[in-house]
Amino acid sequence: MDLMGKFTISASMLLTGFAIVFGVLLLLIFIIWLYGTIVSNAQNKAAQRKADKELRKQKELLSEEKPQPKPVSVVEKQPVVESDGVSDEIVAVISAAVYTMYGSKQKVKIKSIKRRKTQSAWAKAAMLENNQPF
């Protein structure tokens, strides 16, 4: 085999390799583009359904007639919260924080509020060390 024959075989192999590599790259680009299009369409549909659901929910809330709250009588029994030396204002603040945390749909009952025992010096040092800013 002469030099020119070897050169043509090498050139044809090189061009064939380049063509295969670029063809596969173009195929991968198309697959990734198609996948991105499908996922974005699915996300848009899900967001649209969620927005429609919220809109229907708001319309239902507006269309419902809200019942008049009954007046609170003085005779009604208020829930008793045990508090060991904790003022009523602190009990109210803790109750408001718990109510805010759980929301209005869940019924939460606070059974007792107790003052925390004092910590040892080692526990305070550990808390200070672990809570320092970066």
Condensed to tens digits (0 to 9), the pLDDT of residues 69-112 reads 666 555 445 555 555 677 778 888 888 888 888 776 777 777 77
**Structural domain includes residue 69:** no
**Structural domain includes residue 58:** yes
Closest CA to 97 of 83, 113, 85, 84: 113
Are 8 and 52 in a shared domain?
Answer: yes
Are 42 and 86 in a shared domain?
Answer: no
What residues contact 127, with CB distance under 8 A and at least 6 apart? Answer: 119
**Structural domain includes residue 75:** no
Are 52 and 92 in a shared domain?
Answer: no
pLDDT digits (tens, 9 = 90+) for 23-52: 999 999 999 999 999 999 999 999 999 999
pLDDT for position 127:
84
**Structural domain includes residue 67:** no
CA distance 90 to 98: 12
pLDDT for position 58:
85
Are 2 and 57 in a shared domain?
Answer: yes
**Structural domain includes residue 72:** no
Are 56 and 13 in a shared domain?
Answer: yes
Q: What range defines the domain where residue 108 resides? A: 82-130
Asked whether residue 68 carries a pLDDT value surpassing 70, the answer given is no
CA distance 79 to 109: 9
Are 14 and 55 in a shared domain?
Answer: yes
**Whole-number percent of the chain with pLDDT over 70:** 81
**Structural domain includes residue 68:** no
Q: pTM score, two decimals?
A: 0.38
The mean per-residue pLDDT over the stretch 108-131 comes to: 81
**Structural domain includes residue 76:** no
Number of domains in the chain: 2
Are 86 and 53 in a shared domain?
Answer: no
Are 56 and 92 in a shared domain?
Answer: no
